[in-house]
Chains A and B, each alone.
Chain A
Amino acid sequence: MRASNLFLTLVATTMLAGVASAQSIKIGLTGPYTGGSASMGVSMRDGAKLAVTEINKAGGVMGRQLVVIERDDEAKNEVGVQIAQELINKEQVVATLGFINTGVALASQRFYQEAEIPVLNNVATGTLITGQFLPPKEKANYIFRMSANDTIQSAMIVEEAIKRRGFKAPAILADSTNYGQLGRTDLEAALAKAGVKAVAVEKFNIGDTDMTSQLLRAKSANADVILTYGIGPELAQIANGMAKLGWKLPMIGSWTLSMATFIDNAGANGDGASMPQTFIQIPNTPKRKSFIEAYQAAYKVDRFPSPVSAAQGYDSVYVLAAAIAQAKSTEGPKIRAALENLQTKVEGVMTTYDNPFSATDHEAVTYNMPVFGVVRNGRVVAAHEEDVIGDKALRLKTK
């Protein structure tokens, strides 16, 4: 009797262990898959799912398959919060990838932080995102980022406009949202550092269709370049407005100038607009070549809706997988510790990740990594050919 009981217990334990090892690893994937920023959200999701498929085909992580739980946050803060709670409590994800909109990220991250579940921000750029929960106030920071933040972008914009291309009288046009106004502050600070003051600082609203006043103010101030912080449709109205006034200045702005809604709606007027990019659709490394081909084949597109989002989404999965493998665990604190001290080099699309994070530094992208892209005939190409060839093709994080 005792023996058979023991035997049963043994069988039960082995079976449970068997179930556990065959159990899949759940990862949350959240972003706006509908709405004004959908082109970024969908590209990010598609890039991430491509990486998951590849990893699963190669045997998964720790012999377990990765499963993506995707949720549409509609770029709305309150929806983001609901999704965070659902992913944490109901789905019990081991980590979450995503966030396109800074506001959604800032509103939702608190729940992950409290549940000690790591978040890899792979598109949102607001500078504050990784700085919400810093030790020593918190035990540890669970928020990581794999995109170029606004401090980096605004510094790059100023470097490109003032130092590299020699403009002297920049005008800033920023939208009235958090994104636009925080970006404007960053831009003004970066300009001050370069010893230049904007000759005009103008504002516009989401949905504005006429930019005559803003542009004429910039014109009367004798601006020689337009620096922008806004999103696709209104940026297109700026380009179209300049064409209407017969006064075309170069546009240099944040990475949103690569949005399909800007490129398509501005048409020829958008040609020449340039912006920082962590990835341009050029096969200049073997990894990038295979990624571009795989993405195009999987989603039957030629031009990526948002190449940057796709690449960052893809890379974030590989970095997370490496961390889980190193932690040999799906517990949040252990994954976080592994992310902060990643031993394996991860060959990604954007760069090769060699210890991308530390306990105090949760930003995978440094100032030297993004390059300038420019819109030419409806596509984003490299603004300076020399930036993307030879040993400059692959840019590593500076330590």
Chain B
Amino acid sequence: MQILAQLIASGIAVGMIYGVIAFGYQLTFATSKTLNFGQGEALMLGSLVGWTVVAVTGYLIMLPIVLAFGLLQGAVVERLGVRQAIKTKSEAGWIMATIALGIIFKNLAENIWGRDALKFPSPLPEAPLSFMGVNVLPMEVAIVVGALAMMLAVEVFNRRSIYGKAVVATAVDRDAAGLMGINTSLVITFSYALSSMTAAFAGVLVAPVTLTGASMGGVLGLKAFSVAIIGGLSSGMGVVVGGLILGITETLTGYYISTGYKDVPGLVLLLLVLTLKPAGLFGRATIKKV
């Protein structure tokens, strides 16, 4: 029983890491029906910039700097990689462009920070907390709380503020929003900026647990992509649940079946969802008019 609880606790911590990264995919998909395949690299860049800044300023002052960096980085990705593809209604251009930008960012990071994994100083004590025999790291609790808080903040912003309403309007119907006087291409740029900001925030949030380094985006970005598919790309709630499902399945399979097959059930789940409910567990099926 205690072992099961421990596995679930660790699964939740890992799952939230995936979920918070997947949240970024969902943000841009809502407004532009495009994704930043360099989301993992946005996470990595945010984390490494944070690693450099944190040594000078400490954790709390580092956060706004990293958030600002994320906004900027996302805007750059949209301007360079996605805008042209949307303008020409290209089906695949943005896929290639965001992947290419991701590779460029990774090489850039390798040249600046090297390729070794780096330790990100933990703002919280590193001794585990124990709840009825289940151990969790304070930082893992912070990841869960921080991720939920961030997603909540983005949701509130979208629903309450006038700018957020423009984002929602664009997500619902881009053409109609444009006719209502909303600058939809600016909204899309903004959604990319916001998406990379969440990734950068996720980067500094998870780095004390996962270590940081130029290659951290690869595995985490890919896992988060599975999460986004499982949960549904149109639902913020979906990616959280999707993340938890994947994280918990991984730890449970690792323990009860074999650590060699840890990644298999997640992939099976991915295939099942794609077959049975292609919009994702929480996604709304949309009819695409051609």
Contacts and interface: CB of A to CB of B under 8 A. Distances in A.
A209 B213 contact: no
A216 B116 contact: no
B17 A213 contact: no
Given A233-B213, A245-B135, A216 B6 contact: yes
Contacts of A207: 215-216, 218-220
A246 B259 contact: no
Contact of B10 (A35, A208, A212, A233): A212
B46 to A, nearest CB: 17
Interface string B241-266: 00000000011111100111011000
Contact of B117 (A212, A220, A261): A261
B215 A36 contact: yes
Interface residues of A, number: 34
A203 B264 CA distance: 14
Contacts of A220: 3
A210 B211 contact: no
A37 to B, nearest CB: 9
With most chain B CB atoms within 10 A of its CB, the pick from A202, A243, A265 is A265
Contacts of B11: 212
Contacts of B255: 212-213, 216-217
Contacts of A39: 116
A205 B263 CA distance: 10
Interface string A198-232: 00001111111110111011001000000000001
A261 B263 contact: no
Contacts of A261: 116-117
Contacts of A210: 10, 13-14, 250-251
Residue among A35, A176, A204, A216 with the highest chain B CB neighbour number at 10 A: A216
A217 B220 CA distance: 24
B83 interface: no
B114 interface: yes
Secondary structure at the A interface, as helix, strand, loop or mixed, is: helix
Contacts of A34: 110, 114-115
Nearest to A237: B211
Contacts of B130: 246
Contacts of B260: 176, 203
A91 B263 CA distance: 46
Interface in A18-73: 34-36, 38-39
Interface in B91-128: 110, 114-119, 126-128
Give chain B's interface secondary structure class.
Answer: helix
B17 A209 contact: yes
A333 interface: no
Contacts of A245: 6, 128, 135
B48 interface: no
A40 to B, nearest CB: 11
A203 B253 CA distance: 13
Report which residue of A34, A214, A233, A264 has the largest number of chain B beta carbons within 10 angstroms of its beta carbon: A233
Interface in A231-261: 232-233, 236-237, 243-246, 260-261
Contact of B259 (A209, A213, A243, A260): A213
Given A213-B251, A237-B211, A203 B117 contact: no
A233 B117 contact: yes
Given A207-B215, A209-B14, A210-B14, A260 B116 contact: yes
Contacts of B258: 203
Contact of B116 (A38, A206, A217): A38
A267 interface: yes
Interface string B30-55: 00000000000000000000000000
B137 interface: yes
A36 B115 contact: yes
Contacts of B127: 243
B166 interface: no
Contacts of B119: 264-265, 267
Interface string B1-19: 0010011001101100100
B233 interface: no
A210 B219 CA distance: 13
A214 to B, nearest CB: 5
Nearest to A203: B260
A265 B207 CA distance: 11
Interface of B: 3, 6-7, 10-11, 13-14, 17, 110, 114-119, 126-128, 130, 135-137, 209-211, 213, 215-216, 218-220, 250-255, 258-260, 262-263
In the A-B complex, list the 5 residue pairs whose CB atoms are closest, starting with the nearest. Answer: A213-B254, A207-B219, A212-B10, A233-B117, A209-B210
12 contacts: A34-B115, A36-B116, A209-B210, A210-B13, A212-B6, A213-B10, A236-B211, A244-B128, A245-B128, A260-B116, A265-B119, A267-B126
